[in-house]
Amino acid sequence: MIAVMKKETEMYKDIIRKRLERKQEQLKEVEDVMTQGVVTSGEKRKFMELKAVVQELENILDIAKTMFKNE
């Protein structure tokens, strides 16, 4: 049962890791746009939203890593 849970968790970690990579790329693109000149409120909002999503995904991955370390 634990082995199945670990396998499923690894699958979800992989999915979250890929999503994190995509969001980090999007964040980098927004940061690049913001450094090129005048920043609009839409760009600021998108930056803040992406930053929050990236942090949340990183936290989820950290929790997943520690879940099985403690067993």
Rounded to two decimals, the pTM is: 0.82
d(CA 47, CA 33): 10
Tens digit of pLDDT per residue, the chain (71 long)? 777 877 888 888 899 999 999 999 999 999 999 899 888 999 999 999 999 999 999 999 998 888 767 65
C-alpha pair distances (Å), 8 with each of 43, 48, 59, 67, 71: 36, 31, 18, 13, 16
